[in-house]
Every structure is written in C-alpha cells, then in structure tokens.
Structure 1
Amino acid sequence: MKKKYFISVILLSISLLSCKKETAQTAPPVMSYKVVEIGTSNTTLLAEYPASLEGITDIDIRAKVDGYIEKIYVQEGQEVKKGQLLFKLETQTATQEAGAAKAKVAAAQVEVNRLIPLVERNIISDVQLETAKANLASARSTYQSIVARINYATIKSPVNGIVGNLPLRLGSYVSSQTVEPLTRISDVSTIYAYFSVNEKEQLDIMMNAEGKSFQEKINKMEAVNLVLSNGMSYEQKGKIETFSGQANSQTGSFNVRARFANGNKLLRSGGSGTIQIPTNLEDVIIVPQNATLELQDKRIALVVDKNNKVQAVPIVVRAIPGGKFFVVDSGLNLNDKILVEGVGIVTEGTLIKPEVVDFNTIINPTKK
C-alpha cells in the first residue's frame, strides 16, 4: 500500500514539472522596443496661407479717343519707363480737322485785329469787337480740343512697369467705351501678397506679436516667407504691412497684405504663392509624428508606465512644418516615456522591455 502511494506521488510530481515546463515554453517573450523620455525643446511653427500676388500698381491702359490702332511700340512682358510710347491711333481725320480749325482761328484773329482800331476811333461799337473776340475764343477752343484728341491718340505709359497682354492688334478700332483695355502696365518693383486669416488666427498672430498698439505689433512682427507655386521659397523675406479694419461679414476673415522686394522682377502680378508666418516657441514638448496614432478624431501616443506596460494616451498637437514632428499642447508630461518603435503593432497593456534612446538622435538621425 505504501509502495503504491509513493509511486503516485512521484508520477504527480513529474506531471506538475512537465506542465510547468510546457507553460514556460509557451509564454510569449518580453520584446525590447525603443522609447524616448519626454523633455522640452525650442521650435518654430509656420502657419501657411494661400496668397495672390500683385504689383504696387496695375494700371489698365485705355484709349481716351476713338480710332484705329496704327502702331504698337511694345511687346508683351516688355519692361517700360514712365512716358514711353505704347500705342498710336490713326489721326488722319483729326489732323485734317485741326488744319481747318487752325484756319478759323487765324481768320477770327484777323477779324479782331481789324476791329480794334475801328473801336479805338469810335467808328464801330464795342459790341462788334466783343463778338469777334468771342468767336476767336470759340475757334481756339475748338482747335485746342482737336489738338488734344490728336495728342490722346499717342498713348504713353503712366508708370515704370511691365507690359501685360496685348489683346488687340494693328487696325483694331478702339474707343473710350471699349471694354477690354489695350494692355495693363504693372509696377512690380515691389510685390504685394494678399491673403486671408480667420478671426482666431488673427488673434493668435497679434497676441503672439510684441508691442502695445495694434500697429506697433504689426511693425514688430517676424518677417514672413513666400513659397512660390513651384514649391520653391522666394529668396527675399517679406513684411506684413496691413490687416483689414474689420472682418468680412460673409466669411468672417481678415484681409492681410505682405510686402516683398522684387528687384529682379521675378515675381509678376497675377501670380500665386503661399505665405508662411513663423511663430517661435520655447520650452515646448515635441514628439515625432510617426510616434503617434490617429484614431477617429483623436491623436494617440503610447506611454510606457512604471511597470513597463504600454498605455494609450490622447494628446493635443500642432504640426511643425516638414511633416515629421508635432508640438504637444496637452496629454504628455515631462519625463514620460513614449514608444517610438513598434507604434501600430504594440497593443495597449503589452509588457515591453524599454530601450531608452536620446531624443536628439530622433531629430537628427545622421548625427552621432
């Protein structure tokens, strides 16, 4: 009896050892993942706004008198100076009228000259002389009006600038009522970039600017960047000069104008670009974008707790230009450890072996 009991104890012990060994073999191993410890850094945020470009002046050139285009002195895109000839309208008829009007002036002057001595000798009354003088003045006025029409037929540039499109050709009939202008002259020595910001953005911009008064804040604002339509940054920095006095009643936005020097005439009226307004931030929490997850309408970071288990934490972020990092406004604390490896694979509650890496190696992976 004792022998059977002893054998049963041995078999039970063997069975327990076997089960324990099997359990140890099937338990998943604790994996090692890279984590970074949260600290603070300095960065610059760039708020971006689509913008339209215009020169200092964009002047439509129109005919003041009726006539056919006789000469075109410029080409599209040509740079011109103030007073330079642009167009000449046909003036043959006006020139003939001017000749006849000039002859009438001469005849009226002869009549006045003939009557003056007669009035002085009291041969005729002053009324006849005054009538003759009125006729002379009328003749001169008619002649001067015709001369002005002839002068208006020679069209000159009112400003220094660049010639726009030339929609009309030689022989086209134009008048002061013609809807389409002859061309447009744009002074692009300086370019204005026009864009809009909503009320919240306007408040954010102005509250982050130095200065007491509104205008002082504008004067002390950081220079802005202009990204051109080809994705390249314009070489010159710009300066915000004005905000509209009130918000647009329909859109709730404020119109803003920034000024850019354009000495090489690279920028032209009618162009487009993107304005970047920088905001310098100090002692803020920065995390890699790929260390976060987007779940529905929330941004999530995976924090490793004191027991080395992964916890999902909602965070509020702002994107840093370049698409690689976020500024975290809330959700994380200094010295928190967040997962930067295995994000999207490791599930909440997973036990890991954290491998702490220097955050600087995440920002600048090429530096050692």
Structure 2
Amino acid sequence: MRRSSAIGALAITILLAACGKKEEQAPQQAGPVPFPVQTVARENAVVYEEYTANLEGQQNVEIRPKVTGFITQILVDEGQEVRKGQVLFKIETQTLNQDAASAKAKVAAAQVEVNRLKPLVDRKIISNVQLETAQANLESAKAAYSSIAANIGYGTITAPVSGVIGSLPYKVGALVSPTVTDPLTTVSDSHVIRAYFSMNEKQVISFAKTFKGATLQQKLKAVPAVSLLLADGSEYDVKGKLETVNGLADAVTGTTQFRAEFNNPQAVLRSGGKATVRIPVTYENAVVVPQNAVFDMQGKKMLYVVNKDNTVKSKVITVTNTSGTNFIVSEGLEQGELIVVEGAGKLKDGTAIVPQPVKQETPAVDTAAAPAKDSTNAQGK
C-alpha cells in the first residue's frame, strides 16, 4: 500500500514538472518596442575634399660653386637656420691668388706705359694712336684682373636667402667645381610652405562647378580657407589658402596642378614632406541623416521611415556625400519625414514601434575624413 502511494506521488511530481516546462516554452506576446527616431530636416553641411600633397618651402635654392677648388671650411650644419648673406662654405683659391697677383702686375705695367706716352702725345712727339693702343691694353689688363678677383670672391659662398640648410653631401677637402652633379647644399625658406597637389579631370570639372567665377583664378578666390592633415593624422593649426592653378593639364596623366600656401611660424612643416590638403565644400539646404540610420541591402542604401500608425517601411535613398557622422541624401527622402536612427537590423517592413524622438545633432566639422581621393602627387616647380 505504501509502495503504491509512493509511485503515485512520483508520477504526480513528474507530470507537474512537465507542465511547468511547457508553460516556460510557451511564447509570450510582446508589444511594440521603443526605437529612437528623428525628423528629417534641411540644413547646411560641410564636406571636405582631400588631396595628397607634396610640401616645399617658399624658396628652395641650390647652392653650387662657381669656381673649382677644394672645400676648406663648412661653416654650417644640416638643419641649421641661416640668414641671407651668412657665410656657408669656403673654397681654396690659392692658385687664383697667384693669378690675381700676376694680373695686377700687368695692370701696373699698362698704367706705366699710358703715363709715359701721354706727355709725348701732348707735345705731339708721337701719334695719338700709340696712346690709344696703350689705354686699350690697360683696360684689358684691368678686366682680366677684375675677373680673377671676382672668382676669388666666389671662393666664399654665402646664403642667397634666409632659410634652413639641407643635406651636406661634400666634406672638407672634397674637390668641387661648377660642373658637380649634386649641389653643396640647399637653403629652404620654410616660413611659408607650399603644398602642391593635383586633381584629375573629373575633380577639376567638379571644382569648376562648385565654386563661382568666370575663370579658375576667380574660382580660387571663392574657395574658403583650406586645412592640412599631417602625417600623424592631426590637423595643422594654421589655415591656408589656394593660391594658384596650372593653366594646362598634364598631357600624360591628365591632371591639373594646384598650390596652397600655409604660414609656418613654428617650423612644424618641413620642405620635402607630405600632407593632405582638405578643401571645404558647403552643401546648402541639404537633407542630412545619421549614418547609423542607413543600412545596405543588395547594393542599395536604405533606411526605415515611420508611418502615421507607427509602423515602419523601408525606403531606398541616394547618398551624395558624407559630412562627419552624417550622410547627405539627394533622393528618396523629404523634409518632415520621421526615420528610425538606430536598430534598423532588428526591423522589417510593417513592424510596429514606439517612436522615441532624439535630439538632432548639428553636423560637426568633419574631423574624421573619408579616405583621401586619388590624386597624382605633384612635384613642386
């Protein structure tokens, strides 16, 4: 009897446990879930067009010898700042000094001859032709001496401009001449840095359509201040200006060269370096949506629009460009429409939601730029 009661109790326990599991597995009916939404509005948005640039000093002057000789002194070091007129090198001119002494003696002799003949001509003892010949010889001797003296002066080489010294390929004792391949050094005036970059034909056409002006030069004046991204990804703290554009496209590459200039008071920029020029382009009265609201499907960009009954419907949109964390939309959306800005992957057409309006952020300045546009690196002229 006790055994039968125990078996019955165990059976009841197993039955209750099974019923409990079925209740846990039964789906619970969920209501609409809250999703953040935002009303589509029109506003101005800034986009940065980016181009890889080569940096050069305002003046890059090659220092070359004008005379042949051995370097006796190098009075500067690489990277040193020098002022205009400062002595940089001295070249041995001993042979020239000897030539100068000989030439000076010839000048003295020619002067003596002129002095001797002049009173004779005055007294009409000899012809004036002899005096004129002697005077011509004197002038020739003076010219020869002046030429040698100038060459001696070329043995002392000074900086033609103020700037920074480049590399020094020759050492003291090296024989140099006006025909050497490499210059003695280069003096770069880097107080103003020029950034050279190129646009391809499509980019030039877009540039011409974006900025107002009858000529490219007038369009340059309409371009606002440009910025510079450095090699470490930071933005240079001094704004620059587009100054010139080459009037002819390169026949081989089809690119057109532009030049922007940046003041360099703290010597942050170096001639010979690379950076990225960023040109701001303003889209006026544009439809702007957060990138988080957009998803890709079969190669198309889409987002969800909220209907009046709080159900969602997907729409295909056309994106023109990127401004900060937002997309600029040219087609597919109208001002005043309500869109889902987060969680699109959890939705499908017809899903009911609880709209949670979020504050629309003002488009930030594009600090995280899109990948730089392809451009041919320009060589500074």
TM interval, shorter chain, is: 0.7 to 0.9
For residues 134 and 145 of structure 1, the distance between their equivalents in structure 2, rounded to whole angstroms, comes to: 17
Q: CA deviation at 1:267?
A: 1.8
Name the structure 1 match of 2:5: none
Letter in 2 for 1:264: Q
Secondary structure at the counterpart of residue 344 of structure 1? helix
Q: 1:101 aligns with which of 100, 103, 116?
A: 103
Displacement after TM superposition at 1:88 (Å)? 0.9
Residue 185 of structure 1 corresponds to which residue in structure 2?
Answer: 187
Contact 2:50 2:277 survives alignment (8 Å): yes
Matched with 1:232 is 234
* Cα distance in 2 between the residues matched to 1:281 and 1:124: 93
Q: Label 1:246 to 1:300 Cα distance change in 2 as closer, same or farther (>3 A).
A: farther
Structure 2 vs 1, CA of residues 246 and 344 (structure 1 numbering), >3 Å: closer, same or farther?
A: farther
Matches within 5 A, 1:1-368: 29=30, 31-32=32-33, 33-210=35-212, 214-295=216-297, 297-305=299-307, 308-321=311-324, 324-346=325-347, 348-349=348-349, 351-360=351-360
Aligned to 1:10: none
Matching residue's letter, 1:64: K
- The amino acid across from 2:341 in the alignment is V
Q: How far is the alpha carbon of 1:234 from its aligned partner? A: 1.5
After superposing the two structures, state which structure 1 stretch, 296-305 or 147-156, moved more: 296-305
The count of corresponding residues between Structure 1 and Structure 2 is 338
Amino acid corresponding to residue 146 of structure 1 in structure 2: I
Percent identity, aligned pairs only? 44
The alignment partner of 1:268 has SS state of coil
Q: 1:245 to 1:192 in 2, by over 3 A?
A: same
Deviations 1:224-277 (A, max 9, x none): 111222222112111112222133333333221112222233222112211111
CA distance in 2, matches of 1:215, 1:363: 30
CA RMSD in angstroms comes to: 2.6
Moved more, 242-251 or 103-112: 242-251
**Residue identity opposite 1:111 in structure 2:** E
What residue identity is the alignment partner of 1:328? V
TM-score normalised over the length of structure 1:
0.83
Deviation at 1:127, TM superposition (A): 3.8
Distance in structure 2 (CA, Å) of the matches to 1:86 and 1:140: 29
1:116 Cα deviation (Å)?
2.1
Which residue number corresponds to residue 9 of structure 1? none
What SS does the aligned partner of 2:292 have? helix
Per-residue deviation, 1:60 = 0.6
Counterpart-to-counterpart distance in 2, 1:275 and 1:193: 8
| Closer, same or farther: CA 313–359 of 1 in aligned 2, 3 Å | farther
Once the two structures are overlaid, the 10-residue window that deviates more, 291-300 or 62-71, is: 291-300
User: Is 1:37–1:359's contact at 8 Å kept on the other side of the alignment?
Assistant: no
Q: CA deviation at 1:143?
A: 1.2
C-alpha deviations, 1:282-312, integer Å up to 9, x for none?
3322112122223454322233445614425
Q: Deviations over 1:12-49 (max 9, x none)?
A: xxxxxxxxxx9xx6597455233323222332111111
Which segments of 5 or more consecutive residues in structure 1 lack a partner in the other structure?
1-21
**2:7 alignment counterpart:** none
| Range with bigger deviation, 168-177 or 295-304 | 295-304
